[in-house]
Amino acid sequence: MRTIIEKSQAANAKVLLVGMYVPPNYGPDYSQKFHDVYEQLSKEKHVPLVPFLLAGIENKPEMFQADQMHPTPQAQPLLLNNVWLVLRLSLGTPSK
Protein backbone atom coordinates (compact mmCIF):
# COMPACT_ATOMS: atom_id res chain seq x y z
CA MET A 1 0.00 0.00 0.00
CA ARG A 2 2.88 2.34 0.74
CA THR A 3 4.14 2.06 -2.84
CA ILE A 4 0.68 2.66 -4.26
CA ILE A 5 0.29 5.78 -2.13
CA GLU A 6 3.74 7.05 -3.09
CA LYS A 7 3.19 6.48 -6.80
CA SER A 8 -0.22 8.12 -6.62
CA GLN A 9 1.18 11.13 -4.81
CA ALA A 10 4.05 11.35 -7.32
CA ALA A 11 1.40 11.58 -10.05
CA ASN A 12 -0.26 14.43 -8.10
CA ALA A 13 -3.32 12.32 -7.31
CA LYS A 14 -5.27 12.92 -4.15
CA VAL A 15 -5.18 9.80 -2.02
CA LEU A 16 -7.84 8.61 0.40
CA LEU A 17 -7.02 5.53 2.43
CA VAL A 18 -9.98 3.32 3.36
CA GLY A 19 -9.38 1.04 6.32
CA MET A 20 -10.53 -2.54 6.71
CA TYR A 21 -10.17 -5.47 9.06
CA VAL A 22 -9.43 -9.02 7.98
CA PRO A 23 -12.07 -11.69 8.72
CA PRO A 24 -12.23 -12.71 12.40
CA ASN A 25 -10.86 -16.19 11.74
CA TYR A 26 -7.40 -14.58 11.47
CA GLY A 27 -7.54 -13.90 15.20
CA PRO A 28 -7.83 -10.63 17.13
CA ASP A 29 -4.09 -9.93 17.33
CA TYR A 30 -3.44 -10.26 13.60
CA SER A 31 -6.66 -8.44 12.79
CA GLN A 32 -5.69 -5.44 14.94
CA LYS A 33 -2.15 -5.32 13.53
CA PHE A 34 -3.56 -5.47 10.00
CA HIS A 35 -5.97 -2.64 10.73
CA ASP A 36 -3.28 -0.53 12.45
CA VAL A 37 -1.29 -0.42 9.20
CA TYR A 38 -3.91 1.93 7.75
CA GLU A 39 -3.52 4.47 10.53
CA GLN A 40 0.28 4.24 10.39
CA LEU A 41 0.32 4.81 6.62
CA SER A 42 -2.18 7.63 6.90
CA LYS A 43 0.08 9.47 9.34
CA GLU A 44 3.33 8.61 7.58
CA LYS A 45 2.14 9.61 4.11
CA HIS A 46 -0.16 12.45 5.23
CA VAL A 47 -3.27 11.06 3.60
CA PRO A 48 -6.81 11.19 4.96
CA LEU A 49 -8.19 7.95 6.39
CA VAL A 50 -11.63 6.41 6.52
CA PRO A 51 -10.96 4.27 9.61
CA PHE A 52 -13.25 1.37 8.67
CA LEU A 53 -15.31 1.13 5.50
CA LEU A 54 -17.86 -1.21 7.06
CA ALA A 55 -18.45 0.90 10.19
CA GLY A 56 -22.09 0.76 11.20
CA ILE A 57 -22.89 -2.46 9.39
CA GLU A 58 -20.26 -4.82 10.80
CA ASN A 59 -22.76 -6.34 13.25
CA LYS A 60 -25.74 -6.40 10.90
CA PRO A 61 -25.79 -9.75 9.07
CA GLU A 62 -28.67 -8.59 6.89
CA MET A 63 -26.33 -6.02 5.33
CA PHE A 64 -24.06 -8.76 3.98
CA GLN A 65 -24.36 -11.27 1.20
CA ALA A 66 -24.56 -14.99 2.02
CA ASP A 67 -20.77 -15.15 2.49
CA GLN A 68 -21.11 -12.62 5.38
CA MET A 69 -18.09 -10.75 3.99
CA HIS A 70 -19.38 -8.68 1.10
CA PRO A 71 -21.98 -5.94 1.64
CA THR A 72 -25.36 -6.03 -0.07
CA PRO A 73 -26.69 -3.32 -2.36
CA GLN A 74 -28.75 -2.06 0.59
CA ALA A 75 -25.53 -1.38 2.53
CA GLN A 76 -24.04 0.84 -0.16
CA PRO A 77 -25.58 4.15 1.02
CA LEU A 78 -24.08 3.55 4.47
CA LEU A 79 -20.67 2.78 3.00
CA LEU A 80 -20.92 5.87 0.82
CA ASN A 81 -21.60 7.96 3.90
CA ASN A 82 -18.57 6.46 5.70
CA VAL A 83 -16.34 7.49 2.80
CA TRP A 84 -18.01 10.80 2.04
CA LEU A 85 -17.56 12.11 5.60
CA VAL A 86 -13.78 12.05 5.06
CA LEU A 87 -13.62 12.55 1.30
CA ARG A 88 -15.60 15.79 1.29
CA LEU A 89 -13.16 17.32 3.77
CA SER A 90 -10.15 16.40 1.66
CA LEU A 91 -11.86 17.89 -1.41
CA GLY A 92 -12.86 21.02 0.46
CA THR A 93 -16.55 20.31 -0.17
CA PRO A 94 -19.02 21.64 2.39
CA SER A 95 -21.40 19.15 3.98
CA LYS A 96 -24.98 18.93 2.73
User: Which pLDDT does position 77 carry in this prediction?
Assistant: 98
Q: How far is CA 25 from CA 30, 31, 57, in A?
A: 10, 9, 18
User: Which pLDDT does position 92 carry in this prediction?
Assistant: 85
**In the predicted model, what is the mean pLDDT of the chain?**
94
For domain 2-91, give its CATH number from 3.40.50.1110, 3.40.50.970, 3.30.110.40, 1.10.10.10.
Answer: 3.40.50.1110
Better-scored residue on pLDDT, 94 or 27 = 27
Task: Give per-residue pLDDT as tens, 10-49.
Answer: 999 999 999 999 988 999 999 999 999 999 999 999 999 9
Q: What is the pTM of this model?
A: 0.87
User: Residue 96: is its pLDDT beyond 70?
Assistant: no
